[in-house]
Chains A and B, each alone.
Chain A
């Protein structure tokens, strides 16, 4: 199989997965109790009003008609209109997506900046106190639920010490960039951005950090025991050069793969963190849509999350196949 055919095959599989997401989410509305009409109409609305609302939302159409219509519109890039907000779902979703991506990237940065040095130190000082400490930190990171961690971070660093904001999203990274272009106080805007994003990024990135720390540590230990490292040592290369140029570089290949895959997980997994920090991202929209049975908004959100995940997976697979042609043959 050629590389091109491999890439095409993976892309088609990805489309199939997204279609599966669309279908499953669409089907869920018919097995989940509750109706969007209850979120739109007051409790004492007459049956006539309820029926009129159902007709306006298209809910009185047969199932297959609703499904067919939805898929047809989706293929044209139209994700429908929110039952509750009366707005285009495309607008709602793409308005929230940047906040989620920003948070996921910030969480990744927090994780990487802490995890790789911690993993390397842990591996190079194996069975020393610093290794035990790093192992303890990573174990704690993997075991701590991020909603609890988020609440604790807020109580300590936002309420008690008043260093960071408790919640919300004051400015976005675009504002920080624009402050340079518009000659506005860059430092002030940057600090405001940090005041809002730091705590949710830590809460979301901690699990990720722990995972990468463990991966880096085990990878590094593996590399350091390999023959080329022994040879390099025998040739008298400096220890720093062996560790950080040769062993670390090889260790980072699987780490980067996991990083790519985890970014997709972070985009989809930020729901709880967003709720705790009132972060106006896609996760918050998902929660609101579930509570209000706003199926078009929920479907739109999940399609975007699912597509992000699939795209990242395809990208990782294709890059892998490019780097290792055996994958294509397999």
Chain B
């Protein structure tokens, strides 16, 4: 075939594999744990006749290679092969060691990280505590170099100090999720390299500590990597990694079925049978850290009525939507915090689908005959428009409520959702929220506390619980508070609780790779079949 006749057209996949342990420590997500190394990883077995070339195709390429100057998943995946933080996460979201092999909370509430011995950047220079200090400060403080969109992600860091092989981070007040934050955020860069090079250079080149080194960067086209032979956890088995993007999901699936790539992201439900029906690839899915919900603003009628909001929860048959719209790729939710995240309350059941109860509550609320509009983004979340249409149709089928859908381009909807004043935000809209820290407070606070950047609710009791959770040093007690907050959020019903979105990947039958709960892709754990 023509595509295989040339020198660069085919992705060769052959040979045998090592064990590729995923190195999972598991974690309950609470802080204060001692540093454990996690898995050493395995070098695997040699004897491969052909290079292990792995291709990953996503929906969009990066927005530059500066690991601290972006805030979106695709870029995170591309730069995350090159840069690492002090801590990391296993595939389930548990905290594991990163560049720091031990970590602890100090008596004054600060957090201390002990760096591994012998860490080097890709240019061969040693990783120093000063590099770590510089990196954290570059994210948090504008005067260090850039206005980082990640500045929120590290909480209220007040200062970073260094010692012999260690770094201490202090916060304005007590930060109960310091380790969760550092397990997800804070890629480490070399201070001298950053200071010697301008933004253009940093966005097109890389000098991290990650499992892969950059070999070729073609903006908007592809990024090619080679294994970092000096990697502290052992070099990856992959000999060459290529990351590319196709905005059209059908194009991504076609690439997979034509064996031009090995992992494709966001396979839509209607393409699943085509992938599973082929003999070259299969679908591999995992519940993600993203929750989908319908926000209802507490200060406008009819949503100012708790009964009306609860009625909306009874009116939408989420189970049917998951089954019929998402082909089963979703989990029911009943609270803002997802199962497995810190603060999840296992005793809360979803609102049952009960149109009669919904009609009764609408009558009681005094809003019978009301007309409402559900605003939804187009193409931002898995089948968002279809989900919104199904939910609106079920609400509309109530005898005493009319509901229609307004489709909006995501950027325009976000403009309204993030408006500084709650009065300017939509009344009723679909939204998704990814919680990369796996901690309930990271959903409850921004979305439901009075001061949250995206809040649609003002409730003193909930605010009080979240304030308590933030100040509580005992992890178990904090979990209890967050569980109580989730119960209250369920009862207040500021959202129609929809589902936990799944990450759906198409994976070549030539490789073995398990997806992660945090939407990150870790090709260093892939092995050849």
On A, residues with C-beta under 8 Å from B are 33-35, 38-47, 49-50, 52-53, 55-56, 81-82, 84-88, 91-92, 95-96, 151, 154-155, 158-159, 161-171, 184-185, 187-196, 198, 275-278, 280, 284-285, 287-288, 291-293
Give Cα A77 to B345, complex, Å. 59
- A49, B152: Cβ atoms closer than 8 Å: yes
CB-based nearest B residue for A284: B220
Report yes or no: B251 in contact with A163, Cβ–Cβ below 8 A.
Answer: no
CA distance A57 to B1 in the complex (A): 49
Tell me if B's interface is mostly helix, strand, loop or mixed. Answer: loop
CB distance from B440 to the nearest CB of A (A): 14
| Partner pick for B414 among A34, A82, A85, A277, CB 8 A cutoff | A34
Contact, CB under 8 Å: A38 / B414: yes
Decide if B45 is an interface residue (CB 8 Å cutoff). no
Structural contact, B147 and A86, CB atoms closer than 8 A: no
Interchain CB contact under 8 A, B69 and A154: no
A34: chain B residues at CB < 8 Å are 409-412, 414-415
In the assembly, what is the distance between CA of A268 and CA of B473, in Å?
60
Contacts of B330 in A (CB 8 A): none
Residue ID in chain B nearest A192 by CB atoms: B6
26 contacts between A and B (CB under 8 A): A34-B410, A34-B412, A39-B63, A42-B150, A43-B453, A45-B149, A47-B453, A49-B149, A52-B147, A53-B149, A87-B203, A88-B200, A154-B251, A154-B254, A165-B3, A165-B260, A168-B221, A168-B244, A170-B6, A170-B8, A188-B7, A191-B9, A192-B8, A195-B2, A277-B251, A288-B220
Q: A44-B454, A46-B152, A86-B199 are in contact. Are A292 and B3 (CB under 8 A)?
A: no
Contacts of A193 in B (CB 8 A): 6
- B5, chain A: closest CB distance, angstroms: 4
**Measured CA separation A292–B146 after assembly (Å):** 20
If A34-B414, A38-B415 touch, whether A44 touches B63 (CB-CB below 8 Å) is no
Q: Are B9 and A192 in contact (CB under 8 A)?
A: yes
| Assembled-state Cα–Cα distance A45/B71 (Å) | 10
Tell me if A33 and B453 are in contact (CB < 8 A).
no
Decide yes or no whether B153 CB sits under 8 A from chain A.
Answer: yes
> Are B3 and A163 in contact, with the CB atoms below 8 A?
yes
Contact with A along B236-254 (1 / 0, CB 8 A): 0000000011111011001
Q: Does B257 contact A (CB under 8 A)?
A: yes
Known: A167-B246, A167-B255, A293-B411. A87 touches B5 (CB 8 A): no
Least Cβ distance of B349 to chain A in Å?
A: 28
Quote the shortest CB–CB distance from A88 to chain B (angstroms).
6
- Given A34-B409, A43-B453, A45-B152: A84 and B63 interface contact (C-beta under 8 Å): yes
Q: Is the CB of B2 within 8 A of A47?
A: no
Contact among A170, A285, A288 with B9 in the assembled complex (CB-CB below 8 Å): A170
Is B458 in contact with chain A by the CB < 8 A criterion?
no
In the complex where A43-B453, A158-B254, A158-B258 touch, is A280 in contact with B415 (Cβ < 8 A)? no
Shortest B200–chain A CB gap in Å is: 5
In the complex, are the beta carbons of B71 and A171 less than 8 A apart? no
CA distance A325 to B1 in the complex (A): 53
- Measured between beta carbons, the chain B residues less than 8 angstroms from A92 are 219-220
Check if B251 sits within 8 Å of A33, measured CB to CB: no
Most A CB atoms within 10 A — which of B61, B244, B258? Answer: B258
B418 A163 Cβ-Cβ under 8 A: no
Listed residue (B220, B260, B410, B420) with the most chain A CB atoms within 10 angstroms of its CB? B220
Query: How far is it, in angstroms, between the C-alpha of A165 and the C-alpha of B152 when the chains are bound?
Result: 43
Whether the Cβ atoms of B200 and A195 lie closer than 8 Å is: no
* CB–CB A166/B260 < 8 A: yes
Across-interface contacts of A95 in B (CB, < 8 A): 218-220
Confirm or deny: B66 has a beta carbon within 8 angstroms of a beta carbon on chain A: yes
- Contact call A191/B254, Cβ cutoff below 8 A: no
Any chain A CB within 8 A of the CB of B464? no
CB-based contact B409/A275 at 8 Å: no
Interface centre among A86, A189, A285 (most CB of B within 10 A): A86
How near does chain B come to A174, taking the closest CB pair, in angstroms? Answer: 13
> In whole angstroms, how far apart are the Cα atoms of A171 and B6 in the complex?
10
B149 contacts which of A35, A40, A195, A278 (Cβ < 8 Å)? A40
Tell me, in angstroms, the Cα distance from A26 to B165 when the chains sit together. Answer: 51
Would you call A85 and B63 a contact (CB within 8 A)?
A: yes
B331 at the A/B interface (Cβ < 8 Å)? Answer: no
Partner of A33 from the list B199, B244, B409 (CB cut-off 8 Å) is B409
Contact A189–B63 (Cβ < 8 Å): no
9 closest A-B pairs (Cβ-Cβ)? A192-B6, A34-B411, A33-B412, A280-B221, A44-B446, A195-B3, A191-B5, A278-B246, A42-B71
Q: Could you tell me the distance between the alpha carbons of A81 and B199 in the complex, rounded to whole angstroms?
A: 10
| CB of B60 within 8 Å of the partner chain | yes
Tell whether, in the assembled complex, residue A275 and residue B6 are in contact, meaning their CB atoms are under 8 Å apart: no
Contact of B218 among A158, A278, A280 (CB under 8 A): A280
Asked if B258 contacts A85 (CB within 8 A), the reply is no
Interface string of B437-454 (1 = CB under 8 A from A): 000000000110000111
Residues of A within 8 A of B410 (CB): 34
Residues of A within 8 A of B7 (CB): 184-185, 188-189, 192
Whether B9 and A85, one on each chain, are in contact in the complex, defined by CB atoms closer than 8 angstroms, is no
In contact, B199 and A278 (Cβ under 8 angstroms): no
Measured between beta carbons, the chain B residues less than 8 angstroms from A87 are 64, 199-200, 203-204, 219
In the assembled complex, how far is the CB of residue A148 from the closest CB belonging to chain B, in whole angstroms?
11
B323 within 8 A of partner (CB): no
Residues of A contacting B446 with CB < 8 Å?
Answer: 43-44
Residue numbers in A under 8 Å from B244 (CB-CB): 168, 278
Q: Report the bound CA distance from A162 to B260 in whole Å.
A: 10
Does B195 lie at the interface of the complex (its beta carbon under 8 Å from any beta carbon of A)? no
Asked whether any CB of chain A lies closer than 8 Å to the CB of B433, the reply is yes
B86 within 8 A of A: no
Give chain B residues whose Cβ lies under 8 Å from the Cβ of A168. 221-222, 244, 255, 260
